[in-house]
Amino acid sequence: MDGLTSGDLTAAATARGYRVSSSQLERWRQGGLIPGVRRRGRGRGAGVTWRHPETARDQLLALLEIRRPRESLAELAIRLWLRKFDVPMPKLREHLGRTIAIFPRLRRQVSELGIVGFGEKFAEMLRRKPSKRATYGIEKLDQKGYDRAQGIGEAVAAQFSGAMAELTEEYVATIEAAMKVRASEQSVFAALGANLTDEIRNTMPALSRGDSTIANAADADLLAARDLWTRMHVLDGAARELPPDHPLRDILLRMADGHDSAFGLVLLTIVVQKVRAAGFSDPVERFDAAFRPRPEEPM
């Protein structure tokens, strides 16, 4: 009989070394992370049964392979969808709505604490959670590290407060330091005729409105953002094969690693909309053109 039972799926997971309960399967099915069951006839007069499509096996195994410890259902669903597995668009938008709920929460906190107060709270968070310090370029939370952490928190709060139209030079410098940008990455920006400092200053206001961007994005924009993610994922694989001193290795890894998340989808959707606003109807084609090998000059 066509299709797979829940037992078939748990058996496939077990064969790969994963333990999956029936309640987990149901939770993932309800969340749209694995294709739902469909009605199948048993034959004339034998009644009906409900089975998953054959594609559910590969989707479940992919889910189990990419799942991160303590990852939310919403974040996992988004990362599965980015890999072009079947997560229905209405379900995807539900999950996006849950992940971008952090934006209004940040605005409320900034409103209640003020920019300086939020910076202090951010630094205290890093004091309690040492594992998160490296993300912000802080190796040690001594007085210098604490001051840097507070500065990062204030830079973020400045944008979410709505009181500052443009980041100050001090805040931009703080964010740039937190990113730990290497000289090789700076050289790539320079070769492209861009300035990293200006890019940070121009991008932060759009990022602080990311929830509005996602809520109002057309399906076509989300799908284009996913296509960009796919291409960046390919670049990630290519970058890891480059020698450690190759000038493109660091920036390609940063591009790929930084987008495998809901926040990455927000950022790529902003990119898609900016490219469209600049008069280009196909952001993916623009990306392909930028990375397309150029023909060699004739001798």
| pLDDT at residue 46, rounded to an integer | 44
Number of domains in the chain: 3
Measured CA to CA, the distance from residue 196 to residue 176 in angstroms comes to: 8
How does pLDDT run across 146-197, given as a tens digit for each residue? 998 898 899 889 888 876 556 778 888 888 777 777 777 777 677 666 777 7
| pLDDT at residue 218, rounded to an integer | 96
Q: State whether 233 and 193 are in the same domain.
A: no
State the pLDDT confidence band at 115, using cuts at 50, 70 and 90. Answer: very high
Question: In this structure, is residue 86 part of a structural domain?
Answer: no
* Structural contact between residues 113 and 121, judged by C-beta atoms closer than 8 angstroms: yes
How does pLDDT run across 191-210, given as a tens digit for each residue? 666 777 787 777 777 888 88
Measured CA to CA, the distance from residue 263 to residue 23 in angstroms comes to: 28
Measured CA to CA, the distance from residue 140 to residue 134 in angstroms comes to: 9
Q: State whether 202 and 217 are in the same domain.
A: no
Q: Backbone phi, then psi, for 253, in 5-degree steps?
A: -65, -40
Q: State whether 169 and 142 are in the same domain.
A: yes
Question: In this structure, is residue 96 part of a structural domain?
Answer: no
Q: Which two tokens stand for residue 278?
A: 């600049």
Q: In 3D, which of 87, 99, 109, 124 has the Cα closest to residue 226?
A: 87
Q: Per-residue b/e over 36-72, b at no fewer than 16 CB within 10 Å?
A: ebeeeeeeeeeeeeebbbeebbebbbbbbeeeeeeee
Predicted TM-score (pTM) of the model is 0.81
Q: State whether 133 and 118 are in the same domain.
A: yes
Mention every residue, 6+ apart, whose C-beta is less than 8 A from residue 246. 184
Question: In this structure, is residue 219 part of a structural domain?
Answer: yes
* Structural contact between residues 114 and 261, judged by C-beta atoms closer than 8 angstroms: no
Question: In this structure, is residue 87 part of a structural domain?
Answer: no
Burial class (CB in 10 A: 0-12, 13-18, 19+), 6: middle
What residues make up the domain containing 48? Answer: 6-72
Q: In 3D, which of 251, 277, 235, 237 has the Cα closest to residue 191?
A: 251
Measured CA to CA, the distance from residue 201 to residue 166 in angstroms comes to: 7
Question: In this structure, is residue 83 part of a structural domain?
Answer: no
Q: State whether 190 and 217 are in the same domain.
A: no
State the pLDDT confidence band at 292, using cuts at 50, 70 and 90. Answer: low
- Say what percent of the chain tops pLDDT 90: 38
The residue from 207, 242, 275 where one domain ends is 207
Name residue 99's beta-bridge partners: none
Q: Evaluate if residue 39 carries a pLDDT over 70.
A: no
Measured CA to CA, the distance from residue 99 to residue 259 in angstroms comes to: 14
- The residue whose two tokens read 């390609």 is 252
Question: In this structure, is residue 82 part of a structural domain?
Answer: no
The residue from 207, 239, 269 where one domain ends is 207
| pLDDT at residue 175, rounded to an integer | 80
Mention every residue, 6+ apart, whose C-beta is less than 8 A from residue 111. 161
Q: State whether 222 and 200 are in the same domain.
A: no
Name residue 38's beta-bridge partners: 51
Helix (H) or strand (E) holding 41: strand 38-41
Measured CA to CA, the distance from residue 274 to residue 209 in angstroms comes to: 14
Cα Rg of the chain, angstroms = 23
